Amino acid sequence: MTTTTVSLRGISKAYGTVTAVDGLDLDIAEGEFLSLLGPSGCGKTTLLRMIGGFEEPDAGELLLSGESVVGVPPNRRAVNTVFQAYALFPHMTVAQNVAYGLRQRRQGQPRPSRAELAERVREALALVRMSEYADRRPKKLSGGQQQRVALARAIVNRPDVLLLDEPLSALDRNLREQMQVELKLIQRQVGITFVFVTHDQAEALSMSDRIVVMNAGHIEQVGTPQEVYGSPATAFVAGFIGTQNFADGIVKDRVVVADEVTYAPELSALDGLEDGRTVRVAVRAEAVTVVAEPLPVGTANTAVGTLAGTAFLGDVVQHVVLCEDGREILARTAAAGAQPLATGALVGVTWAPESVHVYPADAS
């Protein structure tokens, strides 16, 4: 049984008439790396700011390590934040930036001695491999370096929870991927609960212990990256994570018929969906295989069309197949094993029953 560090109960927040967060419940376990994933405007940043104390919820209860913190200002919460634009203090050196939090007066704690201060700053800078930049000003550092300093400044206080507000979004791609690995390693090392806000699904998948997928102020799904990727709970989650082929159809004799194409998912996927129900089916582009010989029309989990184009994406190849009814199907295969296909050729596409996800049409 893990301990809960952050507990949100029925949290709501509105700006004027716009609801940012709508009656949200969530428990964040001690020491976990939790991502809040969603499109912009889904309420993830508002939620983060409420945990940090920069916004107060209109309704609901917010517990930090078991104690309500509603109305408690940010300087009295054992929470620290890595801001999106780092927000380093320009008139202080790197070391002074990191020491800033340690120098503040805290209830029931004596202020650290100079030696202790230096020791903890040194430790924090070593953790993010910025020791040699201790006497520089933030302006003289690159984006990635500033990012590391912001991280050191936030974890030096050993908070119960570290909030990260899209901290990697300003970095270029290579650096971002490198920092993802590093952040995860640092989180393991310090054992602090990380709450990471991102709109980048790849980032969330690669780093998180659990992902909270948010949309329009509520939670769509909470789960491990494998769960969220492998069995998206809603059509929104399916659409947000990965490239999906969506089709609207009707349940008929335990399969889904969408115009000419028949989707035959595993039977359990249709539990509770009676015949005649309109549904939306989703098949991941990675689950679709293109075959050179067209298959007989009407075979379940197949379609026939012309190859409209092929895009080389580096490690994968993406085919676009245009079906006769005008539907486009995307298929992705590993570039290494991809067979060469001529654009305009008549091809077949096929996918496995377990790759078909079915969602009631009214619930999206």
Our finding on whether 129 is near another protein (CB under 8 A) is no
List C-alpha distances in Å: 333 to 166, 294, 351.
30, 18, 12
Closest alpha carbon to 13 in 47, 40, 64, 61: 47
Output the CA torsion sign for 106, 112, 114, 117: negative
Our CB check for another protein shows the closer of 115 and 342 to be 115
For residue 40, the tally of other CB atoms under 10 A from its CB is: 8
Our finding on whether 52 is near another protein (CB under 8 A) is yes
328-334 and 278-284 beta bridge pairing: unpaired
Which of 79, 179, 192, 269 is close enough to bind another protein by CB under 8 A?
A: 79
Our finding on whether 70 is near another protein (CB under 8 A) is no
Q: Please say whether the beta carbons of 244 and 284 come within 8 A.
A: yes
Our finding on whether 117 is near another protein (CB under 8 A) is yes
Our finding on whether 246 is near another protein (CB under 8 A) is no
All residues at 6 or more sequence positions from 4 whose CB lies less than 8 Å from its CB, including other chains? 27, 28, 29, 30, 63, 66
Instruction: Find the Cα–Cα–Cα–Cα dihedral 91, 51, 63, 103, rounded to 10°.
Output: 0
Q: How many residues bind another protein (CB under 8 A)?
A: 39
Our CB check for another protein shows the closer of 105 and 173 to be 105
At closest approach, how far in Å is the CB of 78 from another protein?
A: 10
Binding to another protein (CB under 8 A) within 86-105 occurs at: 87-93, 95-96, 99-101, 104-105
Our finding on whether 312 is near another protein (CB under 8 A) is no
Our finding on whether 168 is near another protein (CB under 8 A) is no
Our finding on whether 190 is near another protein (CB under 8 A) is no
List C-alpha distances in Å: 186 to 84, 242, 291.
18, 27, 45
Residues that bind another protein in the complex, under the rule CB under 8 A: 52-54, 73-75, 79-81, 83-85, 87-93, 95-96, 99-101, 104-106, 117-118, 121-122, 125, 131-132, 134-135, 153-154, 157
